[in-house]
Amino acid sequence: MARRQETLLCIDDNQSSLNICKIILEDFGYKVLTASSAREGLEIFASHVIDAVILDYQMPEMNGELVAAEMRRTKPRVPILMLSGWVSLPESALQLVDEYVAKGDPVEFMLLAVQQVLSRGKKRKPVRAVTQSRVASYDSEARIV
């Protein structure tokens, strides 16, 4: 029996960051749904089976902490990975999420964090290195943007 492809929801108001995240994660074998606003993300989260969420902290209408709180209220078992360009986040936000990755970190940090939240309770699969030429097409420094 074929293994079901894991579905990730990426929420970020920065369209280029969202596109980069989608390309990288799809290249890694995940099905990726995207939302460019908190409200759109919550609608997708409510209407689809989501295996994990990658959520930007700083968004205009509703920050990542508020989004994560709503997600925890409705589907508490879905892992949430928070991305932020901020050096530190409020403790209240960190308590709502499973992992935190800073924007500007190498792409591999995000991939490892995604894999970790998905594999808790399951056997961990080996990380496939993203080739430098493929990463270069996302961002010249191969960083999360």
pLDDT digits (tens, 9 = 90+) for 13-44: 999 989 999 999 999 999 999 999 999 999 99
Residue-wise burial string across 131-142, b where 16 or more C-beta atoms lie within 10 A, e elsewhere: eeeebeebeeeb
Asked whether 53 and 45 are in contact (CB, 8 A), the reply is yes
Which has the closest alpha carbon to 81: 16, 135, 6?
A: 6
Q: Which domains does the chain have, with CATH numbers?
A: 7-136 (3.40.50.2300)
State how far the Cα of 125 lies from the Cα of 28, in Å rounded to an integer: 12
When comparing pLDDT for 117 and 142, which is higher? 117
What single DSSP character describes residue 119? H
